[in-house]
Amino acid sequence: MKIFAASEVFQFAIRIEENGEKFYRRVNSMTKDAEEKVIFNYLADEELNHKRVFEDLLTKIEKYEPAESYPGEYFAYLRAYVDNIIFNKEVQDEELAEVKDTLSAVKFAVQRELDSILYYHEVKKFVPEGEHHLINKIVDEEREHFVKLLGLEKSIKEKG
């Protein structure tokens, strides 16, 4: 049973990247350390870059327009779903309270990237097989970000 079009998953991806950028900007505003600010600005900018990649990919596929009771109903639901699964504000606030330094923020970010990768692998089951390659592009972008974050985490630990 396929219930999502690849275009919907790209909508999810865009929302996840928007939420990620907000997180990094928020952590950036919490720190006074100039080096940490540079790191979090970099991470926020990376989220924006990923968002642009996904928006570009989205323009290359047919958009899915489901039947709705009112305009935007379906995608409002999907955005709310992503907000509550990947970047749940309550969970984020609890975990953010534990973010006391750059290392803990990077560890938080590593977990969010893993959550995103797992999410896309699961969602792919609901996308027509002919569109799996598009979802794989999203996963590749998230893996790249994950690897960068792991490198950053290692670097911070070595300095520490």
pLDDT, tens digit, 9 for 90 and up, residues 7-33? 777 888 888 888 889 888 988 888 787
C-alpha distances in angstroms, 34 versus 11, 39, 58, 141?
34, 9, 36, 28
**Average confidence (pLDDT) over 96-113:** 84
**Average confidence (pLDDT) over 55-77:** 69
- 22-26, 43-47, 125-129: lowest mean pLDDT where? 125-129
Query: Confidence band (pLDDT; 50, 70, 90) for 65?
Result: low
Query: Confidence band (pLDDT; 50, 70, 90) for 44?
Result: very high
107: its two tokens: 């560890």
User: Could you tell me the pTM of the whole model?
Assistant: 0.73
Per the CATH hierarchy, to which homologous superfamily does domain 6-159 belong? Ferritin, core subunit, four-helix bundle (1.20.1260.10)
Q: Is the pLDDT of residue 118 over 90?
A: no
Higher pLDDT pick, 125 / 155: 155
For 37-56, b where at least 16 C-beta lie within 10 A, e where not — what string?
bebbeebbebbeebbebbee
